[in-house]
Amino acid sequence: MIVVMKSGASKEQIQKAVSTLDELGYKAHLIEGILRTVIGAVGDERGKPQDIETLSVLEGVEKVVPILQPYKLASRDFRQEDTHFK
């Protein structure tokens, strides 16, 4: 899944989202942009709608987008640049 933080979210709010993802069993990948921060979460979210709700209500979270496709880290949803495999 992808957790989109609000523009101007504090470091504490971002860290809270990352630690919540860890507690829920996801591996968090922080992407810090100029205007906002996005957190890619790798893990099996199927059958866990409560995880999305838990993250959605955190302070500083704009939205949570579930991604149920393979190769999440290589997808355009996760990163805009081309991904190269070796």
pLDDT, one tens digit for every residue, the chain (86 residues): 999 999 999 999 999 999 999 999 999 999 998 889 999 998 877 767 899 999 999 999 999 998 865 555 666 666 667 766 67
CA 84 remoteness from chain centre: 22
pTM: 0.74
> What region does 25 belong to: left with phi over 0, alpha with psi -120 to 50, or beta?
left
Query: Of 1.10.1660.10, 3.50.50.60, 3.30.70.1140, 3.40.50.1820, which CATH number belongs to 2-72?
Result: 3.30.70.1140
CB 52 within 8 A of CB 64: yes
Sequence ranges of the domains in the chain: 2-72
